[in-house]
Amino acid sequence: MNKACLIMLAFFTCTATARQTDDFPELLTRQSYQLRGDVVKLVETEVFYRTDAGMSSIRSMRFDEQGRTDTLELTDTNKIHTLKVFRYEDGHINSIVTFTGGKMDDSSSLDYDKSGLLREIRTFSAKGRMTQWVRYRYNSKKQPLYIMYNDGSNKLQQMIRFRQTGKEEYLRTVFNDDLKYVSGTQLMHTSDSTQRQETFYYYGAPDSCTGIESITYDNAGRETGRVVMDGEKRMISYSSCSYNEAGDPEKELVFPAASEDKKEITHEYKYDPQGNWLQRTTYLNGALEKVTVREISYREAGGEPR
């Protein structure tokens, strides 16, 4: 991408049977970038959700000069406005303050140890009363040992324990306020020169597996496959995704094992000279599903959009 002071991206999506895109966008997203130093950085993202009744909600995120989330705003269908303000200190989030309808709702303070690991989060009501206290503990290798959730009176609500059971494996166990077993998740990593695989085993009791999910990634970190099975290793669904030379999804396959309703999703793109796609045409099982058009304008520092 060239050195642009401002890039405006607009996504307009419609299905083949819906109204025209110009008249009724189902989803509109705007992203604003600025040239900061020699790097083009995202400074704001706005997402507009629309229904037949008109605009339903707006979600806006703004970012500071380091690319960190500065504010998060949400206006829902009832026109209730929620604002989250993030503050940083020494490179970490120091506090999060939430406002609803223009009035402060709650605030959270975050504390870190000398190595920069998150140690605790305390959440307070608008009147300053602590409502939750979350504590994190780690071993000598800076791996998580447990997370404890307490209410404002320091009564235990939930505990999550982590146990490293091997070089590429760990176990996550959830206990309730009486320290009774609730659920468990075992994660195993495998990798070779072409891909990386993560397999999750879910437990409803210590020795009762309720489900398995295996996710495969390529060397670029993009998801290429996902298999979901029940506790008896019977396949529930399978999906795969391949990418074009530009790194954009090109072909997706979704296969629910319980039926023959296989979905093959393909994408075709048109790109501008800067390598950003301007149009994406999506087909479902060979039939036109939707067309997404992006309008992108570039502006050099101090110049007019072109």
pLDDT at residue 191 in the model: 87
Residue 228 CA to residue 215 CA, distance in Å, equals 9
**Percentage of the chain exceeding pLDDT 90:** 52
List pLDDT tens digits, range 240-255: 999 999 999 999 999 9
**Domains defined for the chain, CATH in brackets:** 80-154 (2.40.128.720)
**Predicted model pTM:** 0.72
Query: Residue for token digits 């339903």?
Result: 56
pLDDT band at 14 (very low <50, low <70, confident <90, very high): very low
Mean pLDDT of the chain: 82
pLDDT band at 15 (very low <50, low <70, confident <90, very high): very low
pLDDT at residue 1 in the model: 39
The letter for the amino acid at 69 is: T
pLDDT at residue 20 in the model: 29
pLDDT at residue 52 in the model: 57
pLDDT band at 3 (very low <50, low <70, confident <90, very high): very low
pLDDT band at 193 (very low <50, low <70, confident <90, very high): confident
pLDDT at residue 49 in the model: 67
List pLDDT tens digits, range 265-305: 999 999 988 888 889 999 999 999 988 888 777 766 555 55
- Closest Cα partner for 168 from 143, 146, 187, 148? 187
24 near 10, Cβ under 8 Å?
no
Evaluate if residue 27 carries a pLDDT over 80. Answer: no
Within 10 A of 227 (CB to CB), how many other CB atoms are there?
19
- Closest Cα partner for 185 from 168, 198, 204? 204
pLDDT at residue 206 in the model: 87
pLDDT at residue 261 in the model: 81
Query: What is the distance, to the nearest Å, from the Cα of residue 260 to the centroid of all Cα atoms in its chain?
Result: 30
pLDDT at residue 68 in the model: 83
Q: Compute the Cα dihedral for 246, 251, 254, 255 and give only its sign.
A: negative
Residues 6+ away with beta carbon under 8 Å from 208: 231
Evaluate if residue 201 carries a pLDDT over 50. Answer: yes
Residue 265 CA to residue 283 CA, distance in Å, equals 6
In terms of pLDDT, which residue wins out, 34 or 128?
128
Evaluate if residue 83 carries a pLDDT over 90. Answer: yes
List pLDDT tens digits, range 224-242: 999 999 999 999 999 999 9
Evaluate if residue 9 carries a pLDDT over 60. Answer: no
Bridge partners of residue 256, in order along the sequence: 237
pLDDT band at 54 (very low <50, low <70, confident <90, very high): low
pLDDT at residue 40 in the model: 63
In terms of pLDDT, which residue wins out, 65 or 278?
278
Q: Give the β-pairing of 27-36 and 69-75.
A: unpaired
pLDDT at residue 4 in the model: 38
Residues 6+ away with beta carbon under 8 Å from 192: none
pLDDT at residue 61 in the model: 85
